[in-house]
């Protein structure tokens, strides 16, 4: 495909395990535009894995660094950007993303998220590393309830299991054209 000109960043938001990075990479390949993983940027800036950062500096310091890293992205960046699950839920980050780009919420229910997280390597996610599978479901339900008012501020809300990456891309391109 010819390189798509988005003119704006497209921020992919949603709970841990909702597939933000996987989808972002697919969309960026399809559209031939860059992909940025916000967590990966934080790892590069801090020089350590996120779990080490949490352990060494605590969550509040991580949220400051997350906000700074997010807001260092220029509004004219043409890229898909996957954000950490908490990124839209702290400070004014979701409003900032809505002002500067297009936000897409990957909306999955707690049970689907649970099965995905069980299948993933939880040690890389500091908020989940000490939890067994039973605790995990109630944690996801509680956190989703707490975070959903932020997630729902996204301009576009999709269930990524019901649409192909190609259909999602078409939808997003249409949305960016009307911005």
Judged by CB under 6 A, how many residues of this single chain contact ligand S3P? 9
Dihedral of the alpha carbons of 109, 115, 167, 70, in degrees to the nearest 10 = 80
| ∠ Cα 105 48 74 (to 5°) | 45
Kindly provide the b/e burial profile for residues 5-18, where b requires at least 16 CB atoms within 10 angstroms of the residue's own CB. Answer: ebebbbbbbbbbbb
Going from the C-alpha of 18 to that of each of 22, 68, 159, the distances in angstroms are 9, 23, 10
The sheet carrying 156-158 orders its strands as: 35-37, 80-82, 10-13, 102-106, 156-158
CB of 83 to ligand S3P, least distance (A): 8
- If the CB atoms of residues 48 and 127 are measured against ligand S3P, the closer one turns out to be 127
Q: Does 49 bind ligand S3P (CB under 6 A)?
A: no
Q: Which of 10, 12, 36, 50 binds ligand S3P (CB under 6 A)?
A: 50
Position 84 contacts ligand S3P (CB under 6 A) = yes
Only one of the segments 24-32, 101-109, 124-132, 165-173 lies at the binding site for ligand S3P (rule: CB under 6 A); that segment is: 124-132
Output the smallest distance, CB 133 to ligand S3P, in A: 17
Closer residue to ligand S3P, CB minimum distance, 13 or 102: 13
Find the residue with minimal CB distance to ligand S3P: 84
Binding site for ligand S3P (CB under 6 A): 16, 39, 50, 84-86, 125-127
């Amino acid at each position: 495909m010819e390189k798509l000109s988005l003119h704006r960043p497209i921020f992919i938001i949603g709970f841990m395990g909702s597939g933000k990075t996987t989808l972002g990479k697919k969309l960026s390949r399809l559209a031939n535009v860059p992909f940025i993983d916000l967590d990966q940027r934080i790892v590069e800036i801090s020089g350590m894995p996120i779990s080490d950062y949490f352990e060494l500096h605590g969550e509040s310091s991580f949220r400051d660094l997350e906000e700074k890293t997010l807001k260092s992205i220029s509004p004219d960046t043409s890229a898909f950007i996957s954000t950490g699950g908490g990124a839209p839920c702290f400070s004014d980050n979701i409003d900032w993303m809505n002002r500067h780009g297009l936000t897409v919420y990957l909306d999955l229910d707690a049970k689907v998220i649970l099965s995905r997280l069980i299948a993933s390597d939880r040690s890389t996610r500091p908020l989940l590393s000490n939890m067994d599978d039973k605790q995990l479901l109630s944690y996801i339900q509680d956190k989703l309830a707490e975070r959903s008012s932020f997630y729902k501020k996204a301009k576009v809300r999709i269930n990524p299991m019901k649409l192909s990456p190609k259909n999602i891309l078409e939808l997003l391109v249409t949305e960016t054209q009307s911005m």
